[in-house]
Chain A
Amino acid sequence: MWCGRRGDKVSSLCLVWLVLHESLFSSSEKMEDCLAKKMEITVSEAEKRTGRNAMNIQETYTAYLIETRAVESQIEGQCAPVESLWRRYSEFELLRNYLSVTYPHIVVPPLPEKRADFVWHKLSADNMDPDFVERRRIGLENFLLRVASHPVLCQDKIFYAFLMQEGGWKEMVNETGFQLKADSRLKALNATFRVKNPDKRFTELKHYSDELQSVISHLLRVRARVADRLYGVYKVHGNYGRVFSEWSAIEKEMGDGLQSAGHHMDVYAASIDDILEEEEHYADQLKEYLFYAEALRAVCRKHELMQYDLEMAAQDLTSKKQQCEELATGTVRTFSLKGMTSKLFGQETPEQREAKIKVLEEQIREGEEQLKSKNLEGRDFVKSAWADIERFKEQKNHDLKEALISYAVMQISMCKKGIQVWTNAKECFSKM
């Protein structure tokens, strides 16, 4: 059983996540209605489970304990009861998919990575590795808090049920039929290529999110290599400890000084483990925004899709109107196979033509209605999406600044430790 909250590294962890919680409430949006303010949400534990999956094959997975407690009753001095339930990663995924489809204009918070990526050699890429599980637990908690503090998302009933209702939640989600609303990737790709007049801001945003993804990936990759090398530097110093000890055995006056200095070298070598573990949390903060970039892209894609749809509908309407006109006036302005065949095989009767025109007119009317509503939809989407994007930008700037500050603080702490150890060693050397 894991005791995540009450871990050893509470101090630095707290710094990072308290700061984060602060950021969730610092947005200028009206936060009083947010679930996060009314309820304490934690992912407090992680547990290995075995079970049988859909194909009746035995599998091992990790389950996470979600604990919630109403805030209000605490003010009266009474402790509200803690409600809890267990969820596994795939359920979180389901929740997020649901939210993404249901609120396509929202930049939906990302989940922590499914598989360990950007690892350096000491980090395990194994999903069952305790350190990975621990960092994932924190990431999942963060995800829930982000959703709970989003003015729109926090009001979602499925989300609420995810937190409160253990049984039958999956069925509830599936009943919403959200999967049907999901846009196919192929459709989206097609729209991206063919859309003619997307909102410029979204095009820029798409560009930005691509670049952001690229630069953060690069950063994470290099950071992992830097961590690897730094680890090597520190660890080799441990060898000094051993050889100083051996050397001190043959020395008279120098012996003590050498021996105790050697001890400090061992301390120095050992110190890198904690330092790099802390840095992983910084990497996790960056990763969140790497994945957020994908969420941004999703919103842009949705816009492109809607815009393309609109353009197609408008185009369709125009061509129908044209057909109608041609039929009515009898002029063939554009080449059409029908026109040719009718020329070859004889023209239609006026009745036939009349019928066709009527159908077309009906279709045109429908089309115009649809176009109007699509236009409206599109404009609404752009407006609400952009509002959320602005909210997101503010959040991002705040969070990343805090992340950079905490990184600088980590570096400062590392430097101070280094100074301390070498000062101690120097003192030992001076006594040689």
Chain B
Amino acid sequence: MSGGAASAPKPLPSSGPKSLREMPHPLATSSSEEMGPALTPSPDLLLPRSIADKDLSLPNGTPVDTSSPASSSSLLNRLQLDDDLDVETRDLFVTVDDPKKHVCTMETYITYRVTTKTTRAEFDLPEYSVRRRYQDFDWLRNKLEESQPTHLIPPLPEKFVVKGVVDRFSEEFVETRRKALDKFLKRITDHPVLSFNEHFNVFLTAKDLNAYKKQGMALLSKMGESVKYVTGGYKLRSRPLEFAAIGDYLDTFSLKLGTIDRIAQRIIKEQLEYLVELREYGPVYSTWGGLEVELSEPLEGVSACIGNCCTALEELSEDMTEDFLPVLREYILYAESMKNVLKKRDQVQAEYEAKLEAVALKREDRPKVPTDVEKCQDRVECFNADLKADMERWQNNKRQDFRQLLMGMADKNIQYYEKCLTAWESIIPLLQDKPETK
């Protein structure tokens, strides 16, 4: 039994059994390949979001009683943003939820429930439910990188908590991580090649993953050269234009995301400082109200109003920290891993070119290209094809994700202002109230 790549269908861009799944989003422009008739959003898309991308941003059930057009259009958002529109064409659904804390003698850790629903033949059962911890996801990712080196593997949320004293077991941290792990698996699920990877299958189905992991170690040593791409120190003379362009793009992209991350963090910091002052400001009106007779109610009203604005602001900052920043960071990690794949591709091409040159220099009687060099050429062509296909898919998904992320950010700000607006509008009548006496 060889590694995953061998069992999956050869990933050439324009063919493959899951052509529908490769179909770009109908709202994408025509520059991406279109595989068939564009699908229109199906009306029964008001599905519970556990199946489709349950991401960051949508108003979470707050009653839409404000007159702002923004919140009433959120329903429309749901329709427009769903990645796969016809639920019927999908045959694999994966969800990560239900985090639980496990306290053992050696360590304390969190596991997540991974639920799979599928009609694929590669799975013995139509449904699975297993528990996995972060290390298992990490293992999966490594396995995928190893076995599918020509493909872009989605990133995992950061392994270690960098910034000081963040509680690994706090609700917010666990929830943020859960969302990221869910996104990770969904991205793999959506991938026409990766989703058929054997390790992925085992990850989703095995009762005892650790046993398989150990077995996998032994297998690794038996794996053929076809899987291990040589990085034997070959130096590529020049990267082909299109890949150079991708490399440049990723560099600038990472840079810009890094800047946006810093700006967002700065905004959150300023908001929290603003909040500190507001928290002192509101109560002063209350104190004043205590001094007055006729003005007592209006002043108390203003104090309460400011208090409500404080709460709204706190929620906004929390949302930004928990939903916005992690996704930015994820994409920065993504870009990094993609740049590594580009480098691997360079290696493969370099090896091919070197071997080709060596043959040319040997000047053999029969200009028969040795199978060795032929294999290298194949490898290069496959790599290039896989990478191009994945880049295109990545670009589309990135566009979706960022559209959703940024709209979500706008939404949260709109909601914040709507909450404040409601608070201030509601005290106007209180302030205008004429006392009965006099």
Inter-chain contact A219/B274, CB cutoff 8 Å? no
Compute how far the CA of A229 lies from the CA of B269 in the bound complex, rounded to whole angstroms. 10
Which chain B residue shows the least CB distance to A212? B291
Within 8 Å CB of A212, what residues of B? 288, 291
B31 at interface by CB-CB < 8 Å = yes
A391 at interface by CB-CB < 8 Å = no
B280 at interface by CB-CB < 8 Å = yes
Within 8 Å CB of A178, what residues of B? none
Inter-chain contact A419/B260, CB cutoff 8 Å? no
Instruction: Report B284 CB to chain A, min CB distance, Å.
Output: 5
A415 at interface by CB-CB < 8 Å = yes
Query: In the complex, how many residue pairs between chain A and chain B have their CB atoms under 8 Å apart?
Result: 149
Inter-chain contact A397/B295, CB cutoff 8 Å? yes
Binds B, one of A101-109, A122-130, A220-228, A350-358: A220-228
Compute how far the CA of A206 lies from the CA of B113 in the bound complex, rounded to whole angstroms. 69
Would A404 and B410 be within 8 Å (CB), given that A226-B277, A419-B68 are in contact?
no
Would A412 and B425 be within 8 Å (CB), given that A229-B277, A423-B414 are in contact?
yes
Would A408 and B274 be within 8 Å (CB), given that A219-B284, A236-B266, A426-B407 are in contact?
no
Number of interface residues of A (CB under 8 A): 50
Would A426 and B402 be within 8 Å (CB), given that A226-B281, A236-B263, A419-B68 are in contact?
no
Instruction: Report B246 CB to chain A, min CB distance, Å.
Output: 11
Compute how far the CA of A236 lies from the CA of B267 in the bound complex, rounded to whole angstroms. 6
Inter-chain contact B424/A411, CB cutoff 8 Å? yes
Inter-chain contact B432/A405, CB cutoff 8 Å? yes
Within 8 Å CB of B291, what residues of A? 208, 211-212, 215
Instruction: Report A131 CB to chain B, min CB distance, Å.
Output: 22
Which residue of A215, A247, A411, A416 contacts B284 across the interface (Cβ within 8 Å)?
Answer: A215
Inter-chain contact A426/B70, CB cutoff 8 Å? yes
Compute how far the CA of A211 lies from the CA of B414 in the bound complex, rounded to whole angstroms. 39
Would A218 and B284 be within 8 Å (CB), given that A229-B274, A237-B267 are in contact?
yes
Binds A, one of B10-18, B88-96, B153-161, B251-259: B251-259
A253 at interface by CB-CB < 8 Å = yes
Binds B, one of A55-63, A238-246, A330-338: A238-246
A400 at interface by CB-CB < 8 Å = yes
Most buried by B among A230, A240, A408: A408
Which chain A residue shows the least CB distance to B29? A253
Would A222 and B273 be within 8 Å (CB), given that A233-B267, A408-B428, A423-B70 are in contact?
no
A170 at interface by CB-CB < 8 Å = no
Interface string of B303-323 (1 = CB under 8 A from A): 001000000000000000000
Inter-chain contact B277/A225, CB cutoff 8 Å? yes
Number of chain B interface residues as a range: 35 or more
Which chain B residue shows the least CB distance to A225? B277
* Complex interface residues of chain B between 275 and 301 (CB less than 8 A to chain A): 276-278, 280-281, 284-285, 287-288, 291-292, 294-295, 298-299
Compute how far the CA of A411 lies from the CA of B428 in the bound complex, rounded to whole angstroms. 11
A261 at interface by CB-CB < 8 Å = yes
Which residue of A219, A412, A418 contacts B288 across the interface (Cβ within 8 Å)?
Answer: A219
Binds A, one of B334-342, B352-360, B415-423: B415-423
Would A432 and B267 be within 8 Å (CB), given that A246-B256, A253-B28, A253-B31 are in contact?
no
A177 at interface by CB-CB < 8 Å = no
B411 at interface by CB-CB < 8 Å = yes
Would A419 and B414 be within 8 Å (CB), given that A226-B278, A253-B28, A404-B431 are in contact?
yes
Within 8 Å CB of B273, what residues of A? 229, 232
Instruction: Report B437 CB to chain A, min CB distance, Å.
Output: 12
B397 at interface by CB-CB < 8 Å = no
Inter-chain contact B253/A250, CB cutoff 8 Å? yes
Inter-chain contact A243/B274, CB cutoff 8 Å? no
Within 8 Å CB of B292, what residues of A? 397
Inter-chain contact B417/A418, CB cutoff 8 Å? yes
Inter-chain contact B270/A254, CB cutoff 8 Å? no
Instruction: Report A322 CB to chain B, min CB distance, Å.
Output: 45
B271 at interface by CB-CB < 8 Å = yes
Within 8 Å CB of A430, what residues of B? 77, 80, 403, 407
Inter-chain contact A426/B410, CB cutoff 8 Å? yes
Instruction: Report A411 CB to chain B, min CB distance, Å.
Output: 5
Inter-chain contact B285/A219, CB cutoff 8 Å? yes
Compute how far the CA of A423 lies from the CA of B416 in the bound complex, rounded to whole angstroms. 12
Would A404 and B298 be within 8 Å (CB), given that A415-B424, A423-B68 are in contact?
yes
Within 8 Å CB of A208, what residues of B? 291
A252 at interface by CB-CB < 8 Å = yes
Inter-chain contact A247/B256, CB cutoff 8 Å? yes
Which residue of A229, A237, A425, A432 contacts B399 across the interface (Cβ within 8 Å)?
Answer: A432
B413 at interface by CB-CB < 8 Å = yes
Inter-chain contact B417/A405, CB cutoff 8 Å? no
Instruction: Report A412 CB to chain B, min CB distance, Å.
Output: 5
Which residue of B29, B70, B271, B299 contacts A233 across the interface (Cβ within 8 Å)?
Answer: B271
Most buried by B among A215, A246, A252: A215
Compute how far the CA of A425 lies from the CA of B399 in the bound complex, rounded to whole angstroms. 16
Would A240 and B302 be within 8 Å (CB), given that A232-B270, A397-B295 are in contact?
no
Inter-chain contact B68/A408, CB cutoff 8 Å? no
B51 at interface by CB-CB < 8 Å = no
B69 at interface by CB-CB < 8 Å = yes
Which chain B residue shows the least CB distance to A398? B294
Instruction: Report A213 CB to chain B, min CB distance, Å.
Output: 11
Inter-chain contact B277/A222, CB cutoff 8 Å? yes
Which chain B residue shows the least CB distance to A261? B406
Would A243 and B256 be within 8 Å (CB), given that A222-B281, A422-B414, A422-B417 are in contact?
yes
Compute how far the CA of A321 lies from the CA of B428 in the bound complex, rounded to whole angstroms. 65
Would A240 and B402 be within 8 Å (CB), given that A418-B417, A422-B417, A426-B407 are in contact?
no
Would A412 and B299 be within 8 Å (CB), given that A219-B285, A237-B267 are in contact?
no
B109 at interface by CB-CB < 8 Å = no
Would A429 and B410 be within 8 Å (CB), given that A226-B281, A405-B431, A422-B417 are in contact?
yes
Inter-chain contact A429/B278, CB cutoff 8 Å? no
Which chain A residue shows the least CB distance to B265? A236
Within 8 Å CB of A257, what residues of B? 403
Which chain B residue shows the least CB distance to A28? B438
Within 8 Å CB of A121, what residues of B? none
Inter-chain contact B277/A412, CB cutoff 8 Å? no
B427 at interface by CB-CB < 8 Å = yes
Within 8 Å CB of B260, what residues of A? 240, 243, 247
Inter-chain contact A419/B295, CB cutoff 8 Å? no
B173 at interface by CB-CB < 8 Å = no
Inter-chain contact A423/B274, CB cutoff 8 Å? no
A119 at interface by CB-CB < 8 Å = no
Compute how far the CA of A426 lies from the CA of B292 in the bound complex, rounded to whole angstroms. 44
A17 at interface by CB-CB < 8 Å = no
Inter-chain contact B417/A429, CB cutoff 8 Å? no
Q: 12 more A-B contacts (CB under 8 A) besides A216-B288, A219-B281, A426-B70?
A: A208-B291, A250-B249, A254-B399, A397-B292, A405-B428, A408-B428, A418-B416, A423-B414, A425-B406, A429-B410, A430-B80, A432-B399
The contact sample of 17 A-B pairs, CB cut-off 8 A, is A222-B284, A226-B281, A229-B273, A230-B274, A233-B271, A247-B252, A257-B403, A397-B295, A400-B298, A404-B302, A408-B302, A412-B421, A412-B425, A422-B410, A425-B406, A426-B70, A432-B403
Chain A positions near chain B (C-beta within 8 angstroms): 208, 211-212, 215-216, 218-219, 222-223, 225-226, 228-230, 232-233, 236-237, 239-240, 243, 246-247, 250, 252-254, 257, 261, 397, 400-401, 404-405, 407-409, 411-412, 415-416, 418-419, 422-423, 425-426, 429-430, 432
Closest 5 CB pairs of A and B: A426-B410, A229-B274, A415-B421, A418-B417, A429-B406
